[in-house]
Structure 1
Amino acid sequence: MLKNLSLQVLFFFLVFQLLSWFQTTDMLATDSTINTSFMVQTTMEDEITLAADNKTLVLYFFAPWCSVCHASIDNLQKLYEKNEQFDVIAVALDFTEKQDVLDFAQQHQLTFPIVFGNEKIKQAFKVFAYPSYYVIDEHNSIKSKSVGYSTEFGLYLRSL
């Protein structure tokens, strides 16, 4: 019985890993350097770049209508609050009104920068599904990437 259960867990884990790998194959390559020239407006009407500033950056792409984004964004907020060595920037894409993004941020009480993305950013970062994550090191190289729901612990592990 225990052996059968262990085999099922192992099988599930392997299938999950294979699906995760497959989902990220169309994203930017790990160890590639990101384009740091994008100046974007935040929900607070500041302008920032989508680049690391001497610490690890989690770049989170979401859509305000995405239910998985609603489920996972709180994990990202917790990571940001508990770990000063990480910066977080959330990039809103595929929204109809800026108010949709503002409502999303207010609903989840987000304290990290949220920016209004556009189609050019979506294409440059090869975002095909939501949420999508890139972990960027202090030299603006991609350390890891992921698509879909992630726990706070999963985000932390990818960010190391």
Structure 2
Amino acid sequence: MKTIKQWRKNTYNAWLMDACLVAILLLALSWYQTRGTLKADGQPAPDFLLTDLHGQQHQLSDYRGKQVLLYFFAPWCAVCRLSADNLNNLRAARDDSDWVILSMALSYEQRIEVDEFVRDLDLQVPVLLGSEQQMKDYQIQAFPTYYVLDEAGLLLRRSVGYSTELGLRVRTF
């Protein structure tokens, strides 16, 4: 039986082992970050009726028949600032007829904080003014947190932390 040292002498084997180790570490980190959040196990997403920055009301159940990406952020969150622009790119890449992106501001003291965040990033997706109720309902413990809902309004996937545009595309297809 070959030892690990002997097996790693081959460059491709070493790369494969390193890639597997990185994948295991990333999966472990993802599990750790999402522990305690609302499970994405096919249960119905908690409904809400919220107003966006333009005064328009959005009820989650009104989007049944479409896939929904919920993006929870805090305007003070540096990681949110880095990842939010990926929402614009994702929105531009997909047809709006079969899915929707809803971003929700949480953990803010004054609306001006949310307005500045959205203006600075030129967000082109609806930004809802969330409350402690949504933090509780979705068990948000860190920002940003993402949930993907299917056409029936069931929670399919969840993620916490930075996500690239590619990562968002993979999660929403």
Deviation readout 1:7-30 (Å, 9 max, x if unpaired):
222211111111102222312222
C-alpha distance in 2, partners of 1:127/1:147?
9
Residues 86-112 of structure 1 show CA distances to partners (whole Å, capped at 9, x for unaligned) of: 301101011111011011111111111
Flag structure 2 segments of 5+ consecutive residues without an equivalent: 1-8
Query: For the aligned residues, what is the CA RMSD?
Result: 1.3
Local SS of the residue matching 2:84: helix
Per-residue Cα deviation, 1:77-131 (whole angstroms, up to 9, x for no partner): 1111111133011010111110110111111111111011111110001100000
Q: Corresponding residue for 2:83?
A: 72
Select the residue among 46, 52, 57 that pairs with 1:35: 46
In structure 1, what residue type is equivalent to 2:91?
A: Y
- The structure with more radius of gyration: 2
Aligned to 1:150: 163
User: CA shift at 1:6, angstroms?
Assistant: 2.8
TM-score by length of structure 1 reads 0.93
Partner amino acid, structure 2, of 1:72: S
CA contact under 8 A between 1:50 and 1:89: conserved in structure 2?
A: no
* 1:59 alignment partner, SS class: strand
Identity of aligned residues (%): 31
Q: For structure 1, which segment, 46-55 or 141-150, has the greater mean C-alpha deviation from structure 2 after superposition?
A: 46-55
Number of residue pairs the alignment of both structures matches: 159
1:93 — aligned with what?
106
